[in-house]
Copies of this chain bind each other. A is one copy, B any other.
Amino acid sequence: MNIFLDAMGGDHAPYEIIKGAIDAIKEYDVSLTLVGQRSVIEAELSKYEYPTDKIEILHAETVIENTEEPAMAIRRKPDSSLVVALDEMKNRENAVLISAGSTGALLSGGLLKLGRIKGIKRPALAATLPKSDGVFVLIDTGANADCKPEYLEQFAQLGKIYSENVLGKKNPGIGLVNIGAEAKKGNSLVKASYELLAAGEFNFLGNVEARDIPETKADVLVCDGFTGNIVLKLTEGIAEYLLKGIKTSIMSNSKGKIGGMLIKGNLKSFKKQFDYAEYGGAPFLGVKGGIIKAHGSSDAFAIKNAIRQSIKFIENDVLQKITDNVKKMEA
């Protein structure tokens, strides 16, 4: 098992990234490779007591910033933590790279350096979101802004395999994000995608209206990357806006402040489910290797969960299952 962790990517790198790595090797039976400036990583590591044989360092001189044009940065910075990690991954079996750095750079780097699994039309970024009875996988959440129906059909396959093997769902239900429940609703892309999903070998539950997403029975929600990114980010934005507004209105007078103290504990557990950190990162599915995008503002807890997710990803042989499944669909 080869788990690479980009020690230099993310708002709280390297401190929180490395703390997350330390927490993970203590909690799980796993070894990690931290990628980045050796001196910086060693300085951080020296703050902790840990089984030193479980952490390797892979030196990389530079880091790709969020502001850089992704594809160009990949070509121009062969010595960046991202590119060094991807180059090393090519020589390893069962490898996963976790990065909280530039999403664009991670996606185009993954594509350029690792390539697509044979038969995959477009790799897609999947995210795990909360719903009333657990979680669901939303795919694509931004890798492909313009899509064709056959891409969405494949997103459904990728999401199904991930849901089964990493989230442990049996025969996951597939939903299509749409603006109406009836089969004929939606734009031309969604109408054509509906036909493919209904005809395919899926536990297809039909269209899911945006209003019903938080209560959906589906385990996997399929959409183009533009729509998926809107759904993902708006969910984050509305939840943050509401919880902030509620807090402000509670604290606006002393009666409310007392009430606030009394409900604090109850709210905490509920709010947890809207914390992306609970769910690890977003896997980039369809490339020849494990790529997991951790949230830019990931803390140690989020990184530890992304490492746990990577272990499941490798243990359950997700890449092989995608490869076999695509072969089967082509035949």
Contact = CB atoms under 8 A, between A and B. Distances in A.
Nearest to A245: B270
B256 A266 contact: yes
A142 interface: yes
A250 B235 contact: no
B249 A256 contact: no
A143 to B, nearest CB: 11
Mostly helix, strand, loop or mixed at chain A's interface? helix
Interface string A125-140: 0000000100000000
A214 B238 contact: yes
Contact of A179 (B132, B142, B210, B255): B142
A234 B210 contact: yes
A210 B226 contact: no
A115 interface: no
Contacts of A241: 132, 214-215
Number of copies: 2
A231 interface: yes
Given A259-B261, A266-B249, A230 B210 contact: yes
Interface stretch (A20-28, A182-190, A305-313): A182-190
A227 interface: yes
A243 interface: yes
Interface in A241-271: 241-243, 245-246, 248-250, 252-253, 255-256, 258-263, 265-267, 269-270
A250 B226 contact: no
A33 interface: no
Contacts of A263: 249-250, 255-256, 259-260, 263
Contacts of A142: 179
21 contacts: A145-B179, A145-B188, A179-B229, A187-B226, A209-B233, A210-B229, A210-B233, A211-B236, A211-B237, A212-B237, A227-B227, A230-B231, A234-B235, A235-B238, A238-B239, A242-B242, A249-B263, A249-B266, A255-B263, A256-B265, A258-B262
Given A186-B226, A246-B270, 5 more contacts: A210-B237, A212-B237, A234-B234, A235-B238, A246-B246
